[in-house]
Each structure stands twice: as structure tokens, then as C-alpha cells.
Chain A
């Protein structure tokens, strides 16, 4: 079924309100929690989140480190962008490494071509304990997934890092309260009320830098699970699949083994805004194999402590 979406007209005002709300959340959590950390993957949402965090505390320095949960299966362009961004800011980068978790025997090695997305939870929770973080800012948005649509802006995690969707704290007005006992922590989602289009309009307005893979480029890809997957050290054609060169871009950036590209000729932010405004498929639906395992894939991962 294909319907022509009635998506937003371009307005500017709502961006200022979303921006102000996100900055308010960043400042509240930074003030109330002892050791917050900002999760930064190098993707567009976390780039916007980091941009907002910098604005919230300028001209001061970021009052918390940034953390990358590194699956060890990255797009090299994204890692380069991560390092450049962090260096420009003079921020402290903590790397929670899935490879290390595998090497230490914390999790089983899924093999050279196995998806490591789920293993990120272990690396993330281990790092939270090791560094004593009591709050982690994430760039998740409620419009991404039906389980995320249910989550509070300040989302409580128990001593095992679990999210219990049946027992969420009431969250009234903008009175975000971040108290936790030792061992528990919070996830804070300042971009909760942003849509994919809001993100792109904001990137356009603020000139937020992004890794180049978000823009249309030629790449060797194969067709698998109704997605275009880049051929790289993690993804090799199986029998029956053939490699093609196509003009593609990424709508989301995750683990290189399970993130698909979309066909696109959008080479500028402006063109992407136009493309997103008329898209018929959601960003996760178009590009994430990890959400397709089951009806409640995201909820199940979140319950275990995923982002």
C-alpha cells in the first residue's frame, strides 16, 4: 500500500522550541546527576545531540564525557568523523568496546560476520558500571519505533540496567527528576519529541557536520533482506547475490553488518530534507535488519538495557 504522506510544511519556529526543550533537559540532568555521559555514535541523531550539548554549556566546556559503544564493525568514515568531532571539542572520549567484551569472555563471539548490535548492551552496561555513570544521554527519538514511543524522557534503569515498561516513573510537566540509588542509572533522551524531519531541518539550520555516508555516493552494494548492504570486510556476497555499483546514502548509521543503505541522489542537506519529507518508508524499516527479527525486537533489546 502506498499513500502520499501529508508531512509537515517547513516551519522554523518549532525548531527553536524543540531545541530549547532539549537544552533544558541536558542542563537539568547535568545539574542533578553526579556522573552523566553522552552516548555518541557519530550518527546524525547523536551529532545533533552533541551539538545541543555544546550549545547548552557554551562558552564553558562540556561538563561530561562522551562515550562510543564500539561494535568493532564500523564504517571507517564514521569513526574518522567521531575522532575529528571529539578532538575539535576537546571532549573526553570513553570507548566501550564490544571486541574487548568478547576478548574478556563477557559475551560469546558471534563470529566474523555475526551481528554485534545486541552485544552492545553488555559493553554499554559494563562501561556504565566501570565508570560509575548515573545518567547516559542518548539520541533516541520516539518516532523511531513503537517501544520508544512509550519511553519517558528520563528513563529509569534498575541495577541490572533493565527497562521495565510497566513500571515507568510518572513524568509530569517538565519536572525531570533524576534521583537514583547506587548502581541504578538513567537514560535521558533530549530528542524524544523530534521527528526525523525535525532532525534534518535542524541540521540544515545549524550547519551540523555529519559523516559523508549520509549523502548520496556511489558504492558497491548487494541486495539482501530488501536492503542495500555495502560490500566491506564484514559483508561479502553469498552465492546468488551479485555486487552492483549504486548511488546510495545511509538514513541511519549503526553496526556495519546490519545497517542498509537507500538509493538516493540527495547530495545536500537541503535535498535530504526534501527526500525525508516525502519518504514512504520509516528510517528503521528501510535500513535496520536488527529490528526485523520480531514484532517486539526493540522492546526486547531495551528491556535488557539497550540504548
Chain B
């Protein structure tokens, strides 16, 4: 891989009150990421609200309503770093009505930090989150089997949850799973190894995060793609095409196809922001390129190397529906895919996913927070890969034509487990 990064993006997932925010607070406090004044503010807020000396969930639950109600409403982003790597942490809400916010946090995550209350095991909401994380292409899980203090550090209770998690994670096709018995409240096995769990010899949560393989965003099995964002006019009359690379690394001299037009040409020059003229650029870098041939390429078009993406007006996709009104066959929406926005219509609803059993049931509508399989038709052709091959060219959002709200996350194709 050309562009290695030491940034790990992770999202907390799991049911409400299982301890996600407390765990992140604990992780940040015990690795000394908080400034003194930030820690003092959390201590003061805890005292003022009568929730003890230090409510660690207040580290991320920063909104007034969140602190009043003791819940997480929307994602909080926190930044941390240890000598091993940098972390971008998305602490997501657990409530079902905030699933859209959880999906927001998980959509850019390399890894999910799952928190499960050991006394309750996997709740439906945890299964829903695992299902969404799997759909979104998260490959690795670190599972904090939490509140071990409340079950007297029972290894049998821990093992019971581990068995449950492994069964579900196996069905959903996660690659790597590490389960850790924790008490976020007391700090056991979060940053420091616990004395209460002599039967556990695995890593702490921090060690698991530091050693996990990031890779989700860069795990591309298809050629380089450059969706064109903007055309830059060069002095002397030429043009270069700007965008962010995804998929494999793009090189100067690569033979590329301009899509959807299907025009074959060559990259004659490639500029990165840092180096100017360069010979290659990997996924996640914003660049601009010059082409050998005159074309009318513009925003919404894509440059791609073989194996090429498909050009199509008809897409079979998996969607997470966040709209307030149900999604039905015939619904008209706007669709944004890479840098192209086009009108779209739902032509068929192939079913809704039962998150408990992962079976697909027939349905005539998708309700808020349902996951469903749909067939879409678009006014303009789209240049797509399957989501499982490419998280950028395989993803889209649906937009309400009247309110402009983002009402669905869409993934081209169907996950292997459905």
C-alpha cells in the first residue's frame, strides 16, 4: 500500500446505557488526552448535576440536553494520540431514534468499538448497530464486555457474551474480533490491565485499538478512481481535473477511461497538494491531473483504470432509511453519488432486513431506521462499483426533494450476509 497512515478512525456502537460514552471518557482520561481545564469542567458539571465526583460520559456528552437527560443524542468527535497512532473517535448514540447519527459516525470508521453490558448480553439495538456497521464496511471489532464490576468479574458471564458476539459477528462477516472484559466506570482493562480478571490474558481496550489493522478505507480491490470535482484552468489554456483519489493508487502515465462517456486517454501529469508535480497519489489524496486528449470532462464525471466501474441508470442497493415518512415504490428523491447529483426513483422494494435474524422479509414500505433492499432508477447515468469493493464509488445518499434533508444511506449491491 502506497499511502500508509497512522490515523485510526473508530466509532462506538451498542445499545443505550451499556457504557459507550463512559468508556471513551475513561480512555481519554487515563491516556491523559484531556487538558486540565477540560477535566475540571467535567468534574464541575458532574458535581453541579449531582452525578458523583466525575461522570466520565460528560467528556463526550457535551450538549445541554445530553447532560440533563444523561444520554447521547448525536455523535461527538474526539481526537487522541498515543506513541502508536492517532485516533479519531466518534462516540455514537445508542437510542434507536438516533440511528441516523450512529450511521453518520460509523460511515467513516475503520473499526467499531462495541460496548455490551455483560449483564444484559446482546440487545436488539446492539444487533442493529452491528448489522449497520457490517453494511457500512467496517471490518474490525473491539468488543468491550462492560460493567464487569456488576457481575463480580465473572469469567463465565464474560464468556457468555463472547460466545454471543462471536456468533453474530461470524454471521455478519467481520474479520477481526477482540473481546475485552472491562469496567469503564472503574477503569479495568481500558488503559490499565485489571487485577480483578486474572483469568484474562488478552489486551486492554487501548492495546487492542493500537494494534488493530486500520485498513477499511484503503482496502480496495479495484482500480484507481478519480471522481472529478472541479476543473482548473491552467495559464496558457490547458485544463486539469481536480478530485480525491479512491481505490488503488493512481500514477502519472496511467491509461484511464473517462466515464460515463467511455473515452480512453492517459494521465500526462499529476499534481498533489504537497509536492506539486508528482508521479502517483493514493486513496484519500486530493490531486489534479492533466489528460493527453481534449475532452469535455467536468464535475460528475469519473476517471478510472481497469477493472472499470459500471455505467448504469439502474441500481440494486441496500439502504438505511432515515426519513420520517416511509419509503415506498415510486418515491422520488434526489441522489448524490460521488460528485454527481441526479433525480432518482424507487422502482421496487425487494424487502426489509430483520436485524435479529438477518433474514429479508417482504415489505411494501421502509419505515424510519429500517434497512431494506431496493431497486433504483436514476435520470443520469452513474459510474458505480459494488460497495463491498469500494466504499466511495459504491455509496450514495438520498435527499428529500422538498426539505433537502438527507434521508437515506445507500450501498450499491447486497451484503454477503443478506
Contact = CB atoms under 8 A, between A and B. Distances in A.
B339 A169 contact: no
A6 B82 contact: yes
Contacts of A5: 32-33, 35
Interface string B55-80: 00000101111010000011111110
B83 A6 contact: yes
Given A14-B7, A173-B107, A296 B37 contact: no
A32 B45 CA distance: 41
Contacts of A279: 35
Contacts of A289: none
B339 A59 contact: no
A173 B78 contact: no
13 contacts: A9-B83, A13-B4, A13-B5, A27-B230, A30-B230, A55-B273, A142-B79, A146-B60, A165-B65, A174-B392, A195-B79, A282-B37, A285-B36
B154 interface: no
Interface in B29-61: 31-33, 35-41, 44-45, 48, 60
Contact of B32 (A6, A11, A168): A6
Given A17-B284, A149-B77, A173 B83 contact: no
Given A13-B3, A142-B79, A147-B62, A1 B406 contact: no
B81 A6 contact: yes
Interface of B: 3-7, 31-33, 35-41, 44-45, 48, 60, 62-65, 67, 73-79, 81-83, 86, 88, 100-101, 103-104, 107-108, 229-230, 232-235, 242-244, 272-274, 284-286, 299, 322, 334, 336-337, 339, 341, 391-392, 395-397, 399, 403-406, 409
B396 A31 contact: no
Given A59-B232, A172-B103, A192-B77, 6 more contacts: A6-B32, A14-B86, A31-B229, A142-B79, A149-B77, A281-B36
A16 interface: yes
Interface string A172-192: 111101011100000000001
Contacts of A177: 336, 341, 397, 399, 404, 406
A299 interface: yes
A2 interface: yes
Interface of A: 1-9, 11, 13-14, 16-17, 19-21, 23-24, 27-28, 30-32, 55-60, 142-143, 145-147, 149-150, 152, 165-166, 168-175, 177, 179-181, 192-193, 195, 279-282, 285-286, 295-296, 299
A233 B5 CA distance: 48
Nearest to B299: A31
**Which are the 8 A-B pairs with shortest beta-carbon distances?**
A146-B62, A285-B37, A8-B81, A20-B286, A179-B404, A282-B35, A170-B100, A23-B286
B24 to A, nearest CB: 11
A280 B35 contact: yes
Contacts of A296: 63-64
Given A172-B395, A174-B392, A6 B77 contact: no
Contact of A150 (B37, B76, B242, B341): B76
Contact of B6 (A14, A16, A21, A181): A14
Contacts of A295: 41, 44-45, 48, 64, 67
A24 B77 contact: no
Interface secondary structure of B, over-half rule: mixed
Contacts of B88: 193
A89 to B, nearest CB: 17
A11 B63 contact: no
B33 A19 contact: no
B273 A16 contact: yes
A27 B396 contact: no
A174 B108 contact: yes
B86 A27 contact: no
A192 to B, nearest CB: 7
Contact of B86 (A11, A24, A165): A11
Contacts of A143: 78-79
A23 B6 contact: no
A193 B322 CA distance: 25
A279 B242 CA distance: 38
Nearest to B43: A1
B63 A165 contact: yes
Contacts of A149: 60, 62, 76-78
Given A7-B81, A170-B100, A2 B392 contact: no
A173 to B, nearest CB: 5
A166 B77 contact: no
Residue of A2, A32, A57, A175 with highest tally of chain B CB at under 10 A:
A175
Contact of B230 (A19, A31, A171): A31
Contact of A28 (B33, B82, B339): B339
B367 to A, nearest CB: 16
A183 B65 CA distance: 27
A143 B74 CA distance: 16
Nearest to A13: B5
A299 B104 contact: no
Contacts of B339: 28, 31
Contacts of A168: 74, 101
